[in-house]
């Protein structure tokens, strides 16, 4: 199978070479070009096979005409694209889906090496377990699977990481306080809670987590999986808080963007219709993400405020399945926000040719899938009837 990029640079693989990884893209080609000569990069590569270590990994929404290559129906799969030329991704590359029929045989052909084949296969299967490629969750997940990989592959900025750690610590310290009595039995409460929060976030098994495990009433793998999914919920809660202003900007700018160049009346009409559906679908996905996060908030409140550990225990047992859906939905809107800002940087004219805008909106609409909010009427580009699900105020302005 050959992945060919279209000529338009913003829609091509070559555009990815200049971008960081996102929730849907792990750009190993860009990491390679940015870390030449870095000792840690050389010592702890992502994949052992050099060809794979320059690949572009994508969380791909399976289209109807692609389902036949899988044994079972899938919504999301992990796509591996190995460029023909790393320094010019516009030339395209060879690709495969993890889990497609005969994928390991195809992978053997693409790797170009028999060294550490089992490790690279196991790593791809681990990537396929995740709903998205968010750097924090990717790092945590692979650490739990004992893969030793250089930090440069997980593009989380130091300020973002610090803010996320503070947010997560503020949330889970309530439970640590409940399980350990505020740490009063072993010294300064705040210092002990901080250490236990760091230990919990590290994902390491440690006897000091035993009081927390007993409070939650979980054993072995259920405890480890529940804690990981819980951290995932907290991460996505933080992501949505950080992402929502960007999504508001995308929705608003879709009502303001100016079409330049040749115009076709029929395509203009289609752009307005698809743009409205994209905006409404974004809002619908955000509502659903918030609804899922509310399940967590309610269960956590039952534990920390009502003293009912069974509610939160039951949530943790169900959370791995919920985590997958939450990750898919958050990844959908995160991709839209990141691509839109990459294509239309702040401070630059908000202008685009009609055919490119149509392609962008079609891609967004397909990425959001058929899961859009059916309870709300579709708006059109330029319609001010788009409602913020948080403030209930209109987004954008009428034209």
Other Cβ atoms closer than 10 A to 324: 18
Which tokens belong to 218?
Answer: 């979980």
pLDDT of the residue at 152: 87
Sign, CA torsion 310/313/317/320: positive
Half-sphere exposure of 20 (CA within 13 A, CB side): 12
Instruction: Name the pTM for this structure.
Output: 0.71
Rounded CA separation 228/320 (Å):
8
Radius of gyration of the chain (CA): 23
Mean pLDDT, the chain, as a whole number? 79
Percent share of the chain, pLDDT over 90: 20
> Could you tell me the two tokens for 276?
């409205």
Dist CA 357 CA 120 (whole Å) = 38
* 103-146 residue pLDDT tens: 999 998 888 777 788 999 999 999 998 888 888 778 878 888 88
Residue 51, number of CB atoms within 10 A of its CB: 15
Are the CB atoms for 248 and 341 separated by under 8 Å? no
Write the pLDDT tens digit of every residue in 220-229. Answer: 888 888 777 7
With bands split at pLDDT 50, 70 and 90, how would you rate the model's confidence at 85? Answer: low
6 has pLDDT over 50 = no
* Closest by CA position to 137, among listed 265, 26, 246: 26
Q: What are phi and psi of 307, to 5 degrees?
A: 70, 30
């Amino acid at each position: 199978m050959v992945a060919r990029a279209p000529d338009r640079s913003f829609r091509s693989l070559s555009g990815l070479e200049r971008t960081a990884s996102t929730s849907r893209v792990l750009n190993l080609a860009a990491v390679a070009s940015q870390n030449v000569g870095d000792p840690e990069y050389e010592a702890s590569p992502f994949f052992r096979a050099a060809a794979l270590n320059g690949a572009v990994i994508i969380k791909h929404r399976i289209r109807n005409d692609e389902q036949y290559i899988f044994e079972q129906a899938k919504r999301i799969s992990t796509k591996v694209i190995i460029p023909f030329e790393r320094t010019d991704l516009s030339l395209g590359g060879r690709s495969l889906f993890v889990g497609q029929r005969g994928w390991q045989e195809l992978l053997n052909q693409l790797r170009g090496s028999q060294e550490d084949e089992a490790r690279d296969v196991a790593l791809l299967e681990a990537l396929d377990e995740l709903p998205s490629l968010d750097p924090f969750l990717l790092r945590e997940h692979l650490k739990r699977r004992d893969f030793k990989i250089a930090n440069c592959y997980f593009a989380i900025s130091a300020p973002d990481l610090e803010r996320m750690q503070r947010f997560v610590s503020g949330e889970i310290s309530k439970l640590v306080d409940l399980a350990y009595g505020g740490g009063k039995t072993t010294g300064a409460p705040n210092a002990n809670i901080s250490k236990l929060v760091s230990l919990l976030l590290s994902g390491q098994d440690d006897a000091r987590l035993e009081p927390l495990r007993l409070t939650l009433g979980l054993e072995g793998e259920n405890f480890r999986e529940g804690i990981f999914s819980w951290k995932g919920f907290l991460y996505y809660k933080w992501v949505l808080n950080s992402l929502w202003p960007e999504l508001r900007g995308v929705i608003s700018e879709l009502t303001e963007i100016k079409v330049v160049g040749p115009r076709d009346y029929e395509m203009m009409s289609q752009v307005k219709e698809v743009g409205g559906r994209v905006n409404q679908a974004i809002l619908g996905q955000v509502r659903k993400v918030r609804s899922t996060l509310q399940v967590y908030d309610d269960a956590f409140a039952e534990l920390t405020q009502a003293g009912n550990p069974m509610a939160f225990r039951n949530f943790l047992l169900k959370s791995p399945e919920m985590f997958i859906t939450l990750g898919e939905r958050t990844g959908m809107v995160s991709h839209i926000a990141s691509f839109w800002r990459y294509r239309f940087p702040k401070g630059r004219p908000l202008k685009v040719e009609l055919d490119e805008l149509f392609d962008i909106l079609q891609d967004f609409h397909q990425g959001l899938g058929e899961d859009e909010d059916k309870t709300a009427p579709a708006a059109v580009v330029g319609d001010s009837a788009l409602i913020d699900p948080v403030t209930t105020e209109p987004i954008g302005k009428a034209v």
